[in-house]
Structure 1
Amino acid sequence: MRVVSLLPAATEVLFAVGAGDDVVGVTFECDHPAEARRRRIVSTSSMPEGLTPAAIDDFVAAAVARGEDLYRLDAGALAELRPDLVVTQDLCAVCALDVGTVSEALAHLGVGDDVEVVTTDPHTLEEVLDSVLLLGRAVGRDNAAAALVAGLRTRLDAVRDEVARRPGPRPRVAVLEWTDPPYLPGHWIPEMVELAGGTCVLGRAGARSVRTTWDDVRAARPDVVVVAPCGYDRAGATAQAEALVAAGHLPAGAVVHPVDADAMWARPGPRLVDGVEELAGVLARVPVAPGG
């Protein structure tokens, strides 16, 4: 089977279930595992490099308002790779190519009827795990996918058990999915906070992320602020966290924890469990006064 993955999380899953040798095409963002970087790139970004978070937000808003795609699909490369299966998404046009663009490209190439298109659209942690099983079935790795999901569930259960033994109230946690302007989390992120032993004071599980104000962030009185700007690694998140502290945007006294958002928070793949485990360790060390 020849597989083109247009979603970094799907690429991670395909390699994790043993289908890495079947993957022939990926996006420019497919960087895990390292071997994925050696596959042919069929999707790139239309966004200029080096923009600030504020400039990225402006660019995305303007492109969406004009109805323009944020990603470019190399139809020629797609045709040359002759895929049997294309994996894409219908979750967020800002994150990756959506299924409509891919279907149009395949139809234009005259191969739409010959290529299977699998779409993932997870909004919750449970749906993320279901997407692993879906991809496993699509590439004939049902047993490997089931074993991977079972292992992830075991790790999440271990965190639940550890959190249940903690005394006292839960820390109040605010997660920033973007920093300029600030955005509150949706999708699976509030669930990650709750599993890790915190109370997610802003954002709603299963919903879309929404723009907010710094006044609202401070008014939520978080004990911990997780800086998780979508698409940034830990170094990038750290730089933004330091800038927020220097600007006085964050509540005084709150623990500020930058994370590898690209790997463990924004991508709906197996490493979300790594993010839960890391945050659980952070929250275990945060003292919370009764009634706080």
Structure 2
Amino acid sequence: MDSLIEINHQGDIRSPWREFWRRIITNPVAVGSGGFILLLVLVAVFAPWLAPYNPMQSDWTALSAPPSWHHLMGTDELGRDLFSRIIFGARISLYVGFFSVTLGMVLGILLGLFAGYYGGWLDMLIMRGADVLFAFPGMLLAIAVVAILGPGLNNVIVAVAVFSVPVFARIVRASTLSLKQAAYVEAVRCAGARDRLILLRHILPGTLSNVIVFFTMRIGTSILTAASLSFIGLGPEPDVPEWGNILAMGRSSMMAGVWHISLFPGIAIFVTVLAFNLLGDALRDTLDPKLKN
């Protein structure tokens, strides 16, 4: 187990949190990607005040209008301001990405802890169930879940959460198998501590570094999957300002030379997913003791 304090070459004692933040703020990739994500969160929170127009209001005098001073990113086929719709789309995309991955993480952590700690038939049952879910590509599994539950924003969250559960379960199980053999866990067990106390206080904290890294990267994947489901008509209603819906609306206009309807939501999805992946890589470099100098 990592020590609770860290001493640098000058003999100064640093707490793990101070050392973590020191390594993060000296990593330009982490600062850049984290700053963009923070800006995106602020945009989503203050969307009603930042959007210049109502995202559902149509301007019938400017149908599929190109970018201009009045409409910075142009308008869609119904004359709705594209810039305003993308701003409100950030709110929906972050909502889906965060809550779907959180749901999958909670279920995966519980299953991984039980499987790794108790082993036996429970471990076999949980891991074989994970193998069944791994047999399907993530996007195909999400389509199947939405096809069963029906289109809708909440059903998209459930679908994205389902294919996140087995990955979290495997990550936590692998860490639990290693940590339950540690000397401090054996000492606590010999002292008569209950399994619940051992799992929550002594094993779970040791798995969180890997979970945090994967959680960050999984949000980007979930945003991309949710946008893909909306693009093929399995997401929220078509008039909802969601990035996948906006991209799907611009699909029919591309052959007519109207490029901006598909370009700007595509850029928003690309940059957001890239930022979460880069932040996840930076967190992995910071939290993994094997990568420290």
Task: Please state which band the TM-score falls in when normalised by the shorter chain.
Answer: under 0.3
Greater fraction helix? 2
The higher relative CO (CA closer than 8 Å, separation ≥ 6) is in 2
TM-score by length of 1: 0.22
Greater fraction strand? 1
Structure of greater Rg: 2
TM-score by length of 2: 0.22
